[in-house]
Amino acid sequence: MLTDEIKLGSLSVSEAAHELLSSLVFDEARPSDDRPFTSIVESFRFAFALGFSLNKRARPGSVSVSPRQFIVGDYDVILRGSCLEEGLSLGGLCSEYAEGGCKVIQDHLNDGGTVLELVE
């Protein structure tokens, strides 16, 4: 359960990260493209998980991500210590991990890899 010690905050990424997340959403017009996600929130969730698992963080930008399906309070258990230690909101820390994950994804794509390889 969240306490007043940690603010929920909001979710955001840089413009480049938002473009990347958008480019990973399935497009019926191009079904064979490497676009494995059904929504930007789903691609954000993947980028967050990737950044968190690799401990990659970066400062996010100012493009908002809808919090309706990515509920930051659900991550209280794994992020509480870092939020308290660093004085960050849950949304801010989630955004940093997602931004870091986006950098990992972009680097992998630039090296000729696919998003699906990162899922495996």
**Own/partner long-range contacts of 104-110 (Cβ < 8 Å, ≥24 apart):** 104/50, 104/51, 104/54, 104/56, 105/20, 105/24, 105/47, 105/50, 106/16, 106/20, 109/34
The total of structural domains in the chain comes to: 1
Residue 1 counted as domain residue = no
Residue 113 counted as domain residue = yes
| pLDDT score for 58 | 97
| pLDDT score for 119 | 83
DSSP 59: -
Residue 114 counted as domain residue = yes
| pLDDT score for 78 | 96
| pLDDT score for 2 | 45
Residue 28 counted as domain residue = yes
Confidence (pTM):
0.92
Domain that holds residue 42: 12-119
Provide block-wise average pLDDT over 10 residues at a time, the chain (120 residues): 73 96 95 93 96 96 86 94 95 97 98 91
Residue 5 counted as domain residue = no
Residue 6 counted as domain residue = no
| pLDDT score for 4 | 53
